[in-house]
């Protein structure tokens, strides 16, 4: 995954069906360009041709995927009417509620000019707002209430002397320029809600460490309790304390031996010895310490490195029957965090002695 500079842009790892959403985003730029350049009515033809080959097939599949998530793309991509001279009255989505032909199919069936523009059907004059042109000399009597409902609905819209604008409507009536970022934020808000774990991706650490912390935040690492939930028969007790099930939080934070590791690491960093109890706490706790951005990032690397070394130590004990001493574990945390901060973080002024004493400046 691509690294980003924290000053310019922060990327986030989130719970998403990446393949589905990535396919959706690839198609949206093409979709809006076509909408802004098409002749009136062409979009309606394309919407009906699900078997069409090429990029349109991918666009329709992407829209179908998002519609399953509760996002009706063709209602959210809409036109804000100016004079209405180039906006199709029945076919284009200029009200924000979809095309009028879908909302009032019977009236559309009785329309004599189905590609008429908004300017042709709506007048700025308050005395005669609508200029209808129906098939036949008069409408059937049973259509009257439907026409009255349509006119009442359209009273909230009016033409002006401005130009039309195609953009993205988030459902709150907000007029936004279309951008992939805008769509992605709306999709994420629907899928994730407000309770999702957000992990800043650190380019000072290797991908394997970032990926491990991300999976731990999602409770997706192979702890014994997770393996048991997958149908694997095994003793789920923690190998270090044998008193509790080996869940992700117990393995990384709550086991007595692990608590000792965290206490020694926090003492080395000269910060309050508040031992974290979850990955979400580790992700944000460095923000409360230090003054410079680089110093905060160094602390963040140390905390994530600690999680990684705890995991490696557990695996070495389980698979290789290697039981490292506590001072060896702390030494590995210092060594690997120093290597990554100095080289990947380009902090060349830090030396090993100052790092071990935690008396360096950045």
pLDDT(59) > 60: yes
pLDDT of amino acid 7: 38
Least confident range of 42-56, 134-148, 197-211, 234-248: 42-56
Average pLDDT over residues 26-35: 48
pLDDT tens sequence across 190-219: 776 655 566 778 899 999 999 999 999 989
Q: Which residues contact 134 (CB under 8 A, 6 or more apart)?
A: 110, 111, 112
Q: Per residue in 120-179, pLDDT tens?
A: 998 877 667 889 999 887 788 888 899 999 999 998 888 777 788 888 776 666 667 777
Q: Residue 309: is its pLDDT beyond 60? A: yes
Can you give the pLDDT at residue 8? Answer: 35
What value does the mean pLDDT take over residues 12-36? Answer: 45
- Residue 86 pLDDT exceeds 50: yes
């Amino acid at each position: 995954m691509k690294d980003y500079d924290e000053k310019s842009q922060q990327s986030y790892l989130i719970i998403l069906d990446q393949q589905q959403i990535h396919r959706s985003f690839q198609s949206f730029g093409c979709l809006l360009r076509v909408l802004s350049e098409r002749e009136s009515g062409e979009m309606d033809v394309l919407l009906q041709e699900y078997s069409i080959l090429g990029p349109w097939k991918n666009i329709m599949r992407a829209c179908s995927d998002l519609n399953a998530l509760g996002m009706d793309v063709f209602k959210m991509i809409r036109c804000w009417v100016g004079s209405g001279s180039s906006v199709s009255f029945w076919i284009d989505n200029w009200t924000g509620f979809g095309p009028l032909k879908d909302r009032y199919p019977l009236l559309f069936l009785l329309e004599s000019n189905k590609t008429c523009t908004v300017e042709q059907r709506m007048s700025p004059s308050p005395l005669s707002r609508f200029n209808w042109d129906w098939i036949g000399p008069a409408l059937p009597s049973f259509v009257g209430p439907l026409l009255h409902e349509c006119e009442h609905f359209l009273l909230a819209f009016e033409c002006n002397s401005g130009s039309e604008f195609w953009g993205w409507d988030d459902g709150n009536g907000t007029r936004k320029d279309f951008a992939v970022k805008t769509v992605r934020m709306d999709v994420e808000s629907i899928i994730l809600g407000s309770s999702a774990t957000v992990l800043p991706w650190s380019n000072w650490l290797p991908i394997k460490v970032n990926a491990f912390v991300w999976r731990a935040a999602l409770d997706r690492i192979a702890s014994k309790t997770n393996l048991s939930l997958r149908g694997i028969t095994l003793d789920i007790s923690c190998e270090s304390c044998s008193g509790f099930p080996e869940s992700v939080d117990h393995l990384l934070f709550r086991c007595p031996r692990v608590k000792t590791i965290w206490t020694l690491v926090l003492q080395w960093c000269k910060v309050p010895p508040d031992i974290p109890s979850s990955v979400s706490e580790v992700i944000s706790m460095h923000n409360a310490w230090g003054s410079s951005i680089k110093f905060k990032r160094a602390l963040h690397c140390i905390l994530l490195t600690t999680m990684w070394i705890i995991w490696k130590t557990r695996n070495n004990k389980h698979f290789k029957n290697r039981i490292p001493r506590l001072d060896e574990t702390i030494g590995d945390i210092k060594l690997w965090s120093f290597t990554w901060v100095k080289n990947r973080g380009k902090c060349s002024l830090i030396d090993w002695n100052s790092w071990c004493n935690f008396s360096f400046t950045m």
